[in-house]
Amino acid sequence: MAKIGILGAGSWGIALSVLLHGNGHEITVWSIIREEVEMLQEKREHVSKLPGVKLPDDMKFTNDLEEAMAEKDVLVLAVPSPFTRSTARSMKPYLTKGQLIVNVAKGIEETTLMTLSEQIEEELPEAEVAVLSGPSHAEEVGRGIPTTVVVGAKKKETAEYLQNIFMNQVFRVYTSPDIMGIELGGSLKNVIALAAGIADGLGYGDNTKAALITRGIAEMTRLGVKMGGKMETFAGLTGMGDLIVTCASMHSRNRRAGILIGQGKTMQEAMDEVQMVVEGVYSAKAGLKLAKKYDISMPIVAEVNAVLFDGKPAKEAVNELMMREGTSEHRSMLWE
C-alpha cells in the first residue's frame, strides 16, 4: 500500500483517487477551494464534475496542502494546466527531497513554451517528476470502464513502480522514457480536438473529422520529433489514441467548446458554457509559437488560432485548409 496525495479535486483528480483507492492505497485529496472540500466531505461525491461516482468513507479531503503532501509516497498533480506552475510553487515549502510527483494534466505554458513537467522541475528541482497520459476520460475511468494509458519517467524503475501502483483489471498502464513526446501529444491533441469540434459545429461529417485527425497527428509528429520526442509515441496511446478519443467523444471539453464555436459562439462564450477549463485554448498559442520556433508547418493549429483569437470565421478557416497548395502526403517517400 502506498500513501498518495491527489492535488486537485476536479473530475480527473477524483477519478484517479477512486481508482487508486480501489487498488488498496491510502488517499488524501487536496483542493484549494474550501467549498469543494466541504462538498466532497459531506456528499462523498463530486456532484458537479463527476456525478454518480461515490467516494469511499475513508478517503480524506483537505484544504491543507502540507497535510496532503506530508509523508506521501506519491503526489499526483491534477490541477488544470494554467495552474500547474503556481501550485508547484505553493508545494515547495512542504516537499521532501526526492518526493515523486506524477503530473496528469496536459498543456504547454504560453509564455515560456515549457511542458508541465518542465515547469514542475523548475519550481521543484528536488522532486522526481513523472507523467501519466493517454485516452482516459475521467467520466469513464471513474466508472471503471476499461482504459489504457502510458506513464513516462526518466528512470525505468520509477515508471515500473508507478505502473504497479496505477494498474488494475480496468486500467492498463504502459511505460515509456519519452516524457517529451507524451506531453506534447497530450497537449497538442486538444488543439486538434477544438478543430474537430468546430467542424462538427459547422455541420460537417465523418470525412472531415478523419481528415483532421490524420493530418493533425502529422502536425503533432512533425513538431514533436523536432523537439526530441519519438515518432512511435505519436503513433501510440498518447498521440493517435488520445487524439481519436478527444476528437470523437462528447466527454471532451475541447470538442464541446469547438462545436459551440462552429455554431457561432465566441471563444469566451464557449468556455463559459462548457464550465470547465478548455485546455486547448491555452495550448493553441503555445503550439503556434513552437511551430514558428522550430520552423514546422502546422496549418490546422494556425487556423485554430485565427478562429480563437483573430475573429476569423470558422468556415473560412476550413476553406483555407482545403485550398492550400497541393503536396504529397508523406514527403519522405520518393518516386522511383
Q: Is 189 a catalytic residue?
A: yes
Domain residues for the domain of 160 are 3-177
Asked whether residue 90 falls in the same domain as residue 225, the answer is no
Asked whether residue 36 falls in the same domain as residue 169, the answer is yes
DSSP string of 22-64?
Answer: HTT-EEEEE-S-HHHHHHHHHHSSBTTTBTT----TT-EEES-
Asked whether residue 194 falls in the same domain as residue 285, the answer is yes
Chain-centre distance for alpha carbon 306: 22
329 within domain boundaries: no
CATH number for the domain harbouring residue 19: 3.40.50.720
Q: Which domain-ending residue is among 125, 156, 177? A: 177
Give residue for cell 519517467: 153
Asked whether residue 20 falls in the same domain as residue 166, the answer is yes
**Distance (Å, rounded) from C-alpha 246 to C-alpha 261?**
16
Q: Which domain-ending residue is among 144, 177, 210? A: 177
Asked whether residue 211 falls in the same domain as residue 68, the answer is no
Asked whether residue 163 falls in the same domain as residue 185, the answer is no
Residue 324 is classified by DSSP as: S
- Nearest 10 degrees: Cα torsion 204, 207, 209, 213: -160
238 within domain boundaries: yes
Asked whether residue 122 falls in the same domain as residue 200, the answer is no
CATH number for the domain harbouring residue 184: 1.10.1040.10
* pTM for the whole structure: 0.93
Backbone phi, then psi, for 21, in 5-degree steps? Answer: -65, -40
Asked whether residue 54 falls in the same domain as residue 11, the answer is yes
- State the pLDDT confidence band at 95, using cuts at 50, 70 and 90: very high
Specify whether the CB–CB gap between 314 and 262 falls below 8 A. yes
Asked whether residue 33 falls in the same domain as residue 164, the answer is yes
Q: Strands 171-176 and 128-133: what pairing?
A: unpaired
Could you say which of 72, 106, 189, 209 is catalytic? 189
Specify whether the CB–CB gap between 78 and 104 falls below 8 A. yes
- State the pLDDT confidence band at 328, using cuts at 50, 70 and 90: confident
pLDDT > 70 in the chain, percent: 100
327 within domain boundaries: no
Q: What is the residue type of 139?
A: E
Asked whether residue 276 carries a pLDDT value surpassing 80, the answer given is no
Asked whether residue 167 falls in the same domain as residue 184, the answer is no
Closest-CA residue to 210 (of 243, 162, 176, 174): 243
Give residue for cell 507523467: 131
How many domains, the chain? 2
**Distance (Å, rounded) from C-alpha 329 to C-alpha 242?**
22
Q: Which domain-ending residue is among 177, 193, 219? A: 177
Q: What is the residue type of 98?
A: G
Determine the Cα angle at 12 with ends 5 and 283, to 5°: 110
Asked whether residue 38 falls in the same domain as residue 110, the answer is yes
pLDDT tens for residues 101-140? Answer: 999 999 999 999 999 999 999 999 999 999 999 999 999 9
pLDDT tens for residues 171-197? Answer: 999 999 999 999 999 999 999 999 999
Asked whether residue 92 falls in the same domain as residue 49, the answer is yes
Asked whether residue 25 carries a pLDDT value surpassing 90, the answer given is yes
268 within domain boundaries: yes
Closest-CA residue to 58 (of 95, 21, 23): 21
332 within domain boundaries: no
